[in-house]
Amino acid sequence: MNRRHLLTLLGASAAVAALPRPALAQSPVIVSRIAIVGRWVVIPTSIGGRAPVPFAFDTGAELSLINPGYARELALVSKRTTRFRGIGGVAELPLYLAPDVVLGGGIRQPSVAFAGLDRNLGGGIQGAFAAGLLTALDSDLDIEAGEWRVYPGGRPNRSGFTKLGGGIQGGTGTGSLSPRLYGDAAVNGRRLRFLLDTGAPGSLSLHERAAKTLGLWNDDRPYAPQRTSGIGGKGGMGRLVRLDHIEFGGQRFERPIALLRRDGLGQNEDGIIGLQIIRHFNLSTDVANKALWVQPHGTPALADGYNRAGLWVEEERGRPTVIDVGNGSPAAAAGVRPGDVVVGQRLAEIIRQTSSRAGTPVTLEIERGGQRRTVNFTLADYL
């Protein structure tokens, strides 16, 4: 969906939101508009009678988030904070209470609590709603139709859906803020349990222990390095590898890319299934039975992305420094090593040059131990 279609969706949501409250509250099913925009499922959201703006629908989140700048624009005042542990550690986040929130032109809530997080989600997105949108009442996240449907009295049947192992887990009794969605999937033939996270852009990630059990975390296997990050800041260095296959919801996905993580999270699951796979299904929650159902549909697949140089560079002491080099990558073949310093270029220029398509030539000036040399390599589809 492009920006023109997003503006149309926002305008349509504004029109529906103008309906009187009884029209929104007395139906056996309440329909709100959603859409996939870039790497996010987006739901147009009106707060305090303002025009709708995009918010993300993040089923992996335990608390809802808002951009602090947008909170100030709405004249929201934070009177307390909350401590939340994310990928990079513990973050102290301000809490805001937003009045009269209308989501997708359908669901209206008198107030919603948001944690303030200064994070650029792109596309003008001003915040993200937690998994509670689906786990509080029976709901469908119908990606195919572009609808989020809520059934206040319970959903009557789920013909055409498949029940997943896992379901709705977490919540108040376990210290979580929102119960979240879990499902079983087979990775290279081994059954594992995953958090289902529409806020994760890739196909899936595996925590280190599961990756080692599958024999994926070893230095003989080609990988592309990638830093994990999220609430709490930066996490550890991860590895992007290519799997043989994943079986999920009765569907088989061949040779997807997986992120192997070392961030220490994931006590209740082996990894995370992201939007790259979730977008192929409609989701339906059965709250009373803590069950999750899925229905496949024909959404076209997206190409998996990774750094074709196999190089991860960050600023250290004011100098672009190589943090990791992927095994089997063009950068590794050219002799680039962790700790090398790239001279004569800004970090943004290096990232842009090494993040292009396969076949692009790259020239870097490398300094190691006080000695400089020029390295040349060509970006390649090496995973």
**H runs (alpha helix) in the chain:** 3-17, 21-25, 68-73, 132-135, 208-213, 275-278, 330-333, 347-354
Residue 156: predicted pLDDT: 87
Structure tokens at 96: 């805001």
Please report, in angstroms and rounded to a whole number, the separation of the first and last CA atoms in the chain. Answer: 29
Largest CA-CA distance found in the chain, in angstroms, rounded: 74
Whether the CB-CB separation of 114 and 66 falls below 8 Å is answered with yes
State how far the Cα of 66 lies from the Cα of 344, in Å rounded to an integer.
Answer: 39
Residue in the structure block whose two tokens are 């999750």: 292
Q: How far is CA 90 from CA 84, 87, 150, 235, in A?
A: 6, 8, 33, 11
Contacts for 189 with CB less than 8 Å, ≥ 6 apart: none
Contacts for 173 with CB less than 8 Å, ≥ 6 apart: none
Classify residue 300 by its DSSP letter. Answer: P
Whether the CB-CB separation of 47 and 64 falls below 8 Å is answered with no
Residue 298: predicted pLDDT: 80
DSSP-derived 3-state class of residue 110: strand
Q: Which domains occur in the chain, in start order?
A: 3-151 (2.40.70.10), 162-292 (2.40.70.10), 311-378 (2.30.42.10)
Residue 299: predicted pLDDT: 73
Q: How far is CA 80 from CA 17, 70, 113, 227, in A?
A: 30, 18, 11, 31
Residue 233: predicted pLDDT: 57
What are the DSSP calls for 25-71, one per residue?
HSSSSEEEE-EEETTEEEEEEEETTPPPEEEEE-TT-SS-EE-HHHH
What is the distance, to the nearest Å, from the Cα of residue 359 to the centroid of all Cα atoms in its chain? 29
Whether the CB-CB separation of 63 and 24 falls below 8 Å is answered with no
- The pTM for the full model equals 0.89
Mean pLDDT for back-to-back runs of 10 residues, the chain (383 residues): 45 42 62 91 95 94 92 93 70 91 92 88 90 94 94 92 93 64 96 94 91 91 87 76 95 94 76 94 96 89 84 94 96 97 94 93 95 96 95
